[in-house]
Amino acid sequence: MHALTAPLPFAPLGLSLDEVRENRILNLWSAILSRHPDQENGIHESDAELLPLPGSDQLLAVTVDTVAEEIALGFYSTPETIGWMAVTSSLSDLAAVGAAPLGLLIAAILPDGGEVAGDFQARLAAGIEAACRDAGTHILGGDTNRGDACVMTSCAVGLVPRSGVIRRVGCRAGERVYATGPLGAGAAAAARGLLGLGEALWREEDYRPRARLREAMLLRGLATSAMDTSDGLVATLDQLARLNRVAMCITEPAERLLDPRVDALRRRLGLSPFPFLAAEHGEFELVFTLRPEDEGLLLHRAAEIGWEPLLLGHTAPGGGLLLGKHEIDGARIRNLVDECGGDPRRYLELLLAADPSNHPTRGG
Amino acid sequence: MHALTAPLPFAPLGLSLDEVRENRILNLWSAILSRHPDQENGIHESDAELLPLPGSDQLLAVTVDTVAEEIALGFYSTPETIGWMAVTSSLSDLAAVGAAPLGLLIAAILPDGGEVAGDFQARLAAGIEAACRDAGTHILGGDTNRGDACVMTSCAVGLVPRSGVIRRVGCRAGERVYATGPLGAGAAAAARGLLGLGEALWREEDYRPRARLREAMLLRGLATSAMDTSDGLVATLDQLARLNRVAMCITEPAERLLDPRVDALRRRLGLSPFPFLAAEHGEFELVFTLRPEDEGLLLHRAAEIGWEPLLLGHTAPGGGLLLGKHEIDGARIRNLVDECGGDPRRYLELLLAADPSNHPTRGG
């Protein structure tokens, strides 16, 4: 098991993690911070951090996530949405490693405002409680501070048997690629906030993603890799391709990957599926891989709980990301937020311009 | 043990937790959030949250702290200080429950700024690493986001044997009150930031509090209550008095409680010790109580590691807080931040005006 805690042997060939700004930032930090000698995951290797517990065959899984830009950009405008998402974002990281939650901590920065603030806090807490109840877990404690804007940070702790841990690394060429459910609702929620879509097209309450904790239990011992789509499908596939040094080939038609509500929305807006799969605000599904011979067992287990895993495609030797016949420059897509200088309108323009279905086929 | 997880039976008489705004906020949240059925601490009852681990006699201790206002107000101006304090603030909560750290997570909101941001992040990481090394622990992972201002949230996880847990509740009248070390450096650091004190008076690097983890190990089984002084001595004593329904009588002369560097500073500024003990920015010592018959054992254990616990005074029947002969209105002091409407100059004025050594003796 401990081989996984060593640094990944990045070969000079292939797609480098460092092509993506987010990975560069993490590498900058990890060059300075010394690693816990017992930590069971290397940098980039899992959605949650994994530590052995003395005298136990369970690993402690811990993760932290901040919801800030999503609030500032108006993707989450009601306190109920903000609370729900603060909980879901960190629980989803636990799901991605196969862990069952023990509970969460919440650190909230709350805008000033006297009595209004009290009502805001009560609605925020109601959103938090709703997401916790839905996931069967609890808030253990937290910290509140005052500030100019609302920022929510959640920390989730959980347990996973050592034999059941799921990491981002571990898949090979020739495996199946699945998602836990249909995609695109995160992009739709972002579009609602940015473009001010009317209620008839998309309501804020249409976006209430659930951390895939129950499904993840069934993936223990089956998934060879997994990662949540908190940053959208393209970012997730791109990172898994880089980490595992495989190509991710999405062979199912893109329309079929979309949540039906999202497919209806994109048709009314006259858009292709691409921006809904590529935008950097995801739907908190899990993308996972498994060996073809395990597919029957997956579908059997899934049927027992009424879950329909969504086949995306397969892995192949090499690297990179194929959507149908189109080669996708994952690093470019993932760096668009920087390229646009934080201007969301410019981001949308660049994202739509990067849609390969608008261009002659380059690869494949 | 489980009696402690039930709500505290607040009698209608005595000092209510609700007199303090911070307690009211926490009570507002806890009225909405459902409690974890297995949680080993009630609301307000400990600095870190405590959960049983299946098949273990160890409790998991988890805590989260945000450093935001201290940065915005200029108390922490260098990235090294910010990083150090982000780590220390949550480790100090682990110390207060007697836990040994497993590691930390850091969520950072970083100001934009291209290459400058890279240097800022490297120095921030260096401050984090320095505090972790000093405490013998590690950063397990984290999350970075962009924002207008730097905000750091740290989450610490640790373990404590069930028999060694220390809580805020448990002391009775007639016990000794101690601090782990001299006080006032937090107030001095805040004064430096607010008043722009020159380097000759107080340097930012003079404030590098250490979470009292090593000392807390020796308090397991001895301390009948403990709480860290992250909000200053007066707030800590006031909260312990309210929670335990005792009076906290500080009988040692106030000058003797001050860090010698702080005592020199306050003499040069012509100030009494009071504002350095009452300001709501503390020094991350632990205040703890113990039975008089255990004092010998404490001092014996302490001497073995070269630690000198600082006697403050004793507990007495009743409630409230006495500094020498002066009765202190702890709720008033703790609510000053709100009374001043967030204006730090006004806060200082109100704090100095509340100094009982400037007034005829009211109580005692």
pLDDT, one tens digit per residue, over B47-98 is 999 999 999 999 999 999 999 999 999 999 999 999 999 999 999 999 999 9
C-alpha triplet A109, B276, B326: angle, nearest 5° = 110
Q: One-letter amino acid identity for A359?
A: H
User: DSSP alpha helices (H): ranges in chain B?
Assistant: 21-32, 69-72, 79-96, 114-135, 185-195, 213-219, 233-244, 254-257, 260-269, 274-278, 295-304, 330-334, 336-339, 344-353
Which is it for strands B100-111 and B139-147: parallel, antiparallel or unpaired?
Answer: parallel
Identify the residue among A34, A64, A80 best suited for mutation to test binding to B, counting B beta carbons within 10 A and taking the highest: A64
**Distance in angstroms (rounded) separating the CA atoms of residues B133 and B144:** 21
**If we measure between CA atoms, which residue out of A35, A129, A210 comes closest to residue B138?**
A35
Which of chain B's residues have a Cβ under 8 Å away from the Cβ of A72? 147
What pLDDT does residue A362 have? 47
Residues ≥6 apart with Cβ < 8 Å to B313 = B176, B177, B248, B249, B250, B251, B252, B322
> How close A322 comes to chain B (CA, Å)?
28
Q: What average pLDDT does this structure show over B218-237?
A: 98
Task: Judge: A140–B103 Cβ closer than 8 Å, yes or no.
Answer: no
Q: What is the DSSP string of A208-222?
A: -----HHHHHHHTTT
Which is it for strands B247-250 and A225-228: parallel, antiparallel or unpaired?
Answer: unpaired
Residue A84: pLDDT band (50, 70, 90) is very high
A21 or B220, higher pLDDT: B220
**If we measure between CA atoms, which residue out of A24, A139, A45, A154 comes closest to residue A92?**
A154
Task: Judge: B147–A72 Cβ closer than 8 Å, yes or no.
Answer: yes
**Structure tokens that stand for B359 in this block:** 């007034």
Quote the crossing angle between the two packed helices B344-353 and B185-195, to the nearest 10°.
Answer: 130
B-contacting residues of A 153-182, CB under 8 Å?
Answer: 153, 155, 157, 159
Query: Cα B96 to chain center, whole Å?
Result: 9
What pLDDT does residue A22 have? 87
Task: Judge: A157–B153 Cβ closer than 8 Å, yes or no.
Answer: no
Residue A266: pLDDT band (50, 70, 90) is very high
Q: What is the DSSP string of A53-87?
A: -TT-SEEEEEEEEEE-HHHHTTSS-SHHHHHHHHH
pLDDT, one tens digit per residue, over A154-211 is 999 999 999 999 999 999 999 999 999 999 999 999 999 988 888 899 999 999 999 9
Which is it for strands B176-179 and B225-228: parallel, antiparallel or unpaired?
Answer: unpaired
A-contacting residues of B 182-201, CB under 8 Å?
Answer: none
Identify the residue among B21, B29, B59, B67 best suited for mutation to test binding to A, counting A beta carbons within 10 A and taking the highest: B29
Residues A151 and A109: beta-carbon distance below 8 Å: yes
**Distance in angstroms (rounded) separating the CA atoms of residues A321 and A242:** 10
What pLDDT does residue B148 have? 83
Indicate the helix (H) or strand (E) that contains A239: helix A233-244
Residues B62 and B155: beta-carbon distance below 8 Å: yes
Residues B152 and B107: beta-carbon distance below 8 Å: yes
Least confident of A5-19, A79-93, B262-276, B320-334: A5-19
**Distance in angstroms (rounded) separating the CA atoms of residues A185 and A127:** 19
**Distance in angstroms (rounded) separating the CA atoms of residues A99 and A60:** 8
So what's the ipTM on this one? 0.92
Q: What average pLDDT does this structure show over B303-318?
A: 98
Residue A148: pLDDT band (50, 70, 90) is confident
What pLDDT does residue A147 have? 84
| Average confidence score pLDDT of chain B | 92
Residue A140 at interface with chain B, using a CB cutoff of 8 Å: yes
**Structure tokens that stand for B269 in this block:** 């500024």
**Structure tokens that stand for B200 in this block:** 């000759």
Q: Sign of torsion, CA A104 A107 A110 A114? A: positive
Residue A117: pLDDT band (50, 70, 90) is low
Statement: residue A363 has pLDDT above 80: no
A-contacting residues of B 14-73, CB under 8 Å?
Answer: 25-26, 28-29, 32-37, 39, 48-49, 51, 53-56, 58, 60, 62-66, 68-69, 72
Residues ≥6 apart with Cβ < 8 Å to A187 = A232, A262, A275, A276, A277, A278, A279, A281, A282, A283
What pLDDT does residue A359 have? 66
Q: What average pLDDT does this structure show over B143-160?
A: 93
Task: Judge: B33–A151 Cβ closer than 8 Å, yes or no.
Answer: no
Task: Judge: B51–A140 Cβ closer than 8 Å, yes or no.
Answer: yes
pLDDT, one tens digit per residue, over B2-52 is 333 333 444 333 478 989 988 888 888 999 999 999 999 999 999 999 999
Residue A116: pLDDT band (50, 70, 90) is low
Residues ≥6 apart with Cβ < 8 Å to B356 = B274, B323, B326, B327, B328, B362
Enumerate the β-bridge partners of residue B109.
B145, B151
Task: Judge: A51–B147 Cβ closer than 8 Å, yes or no.
Answer: no
Residue A147 at interface with chain B, using a CB cutoff of 8 Å: yes
**Distance in angstroms (rounded) separating the CA atoms of residues A193 and A198:** 10
Q: What distance, in Å, lies between the first and last C-alpha atoms of chain A?
A: 36
pTM, 2 dp = 0.93
Residue of A nearest to B83 (CA): A33
| Average confidence score pLDDT of chain A | 92
What pLDDT does residue A26 have? 87
Task: Judge: A153–B342 Cβ closer than 8 Å, yes or no.
Answer: no
**Distance in angstroms (rounded) separating the CA atoms of residues A220 and A99:** 9
Q: What is the DSSP string of A121-178?
A: HHHHHHHHHHHHHHHT--EEEEEEEEESS-EEEEEEEEEEEGGG---S----TT-EEE
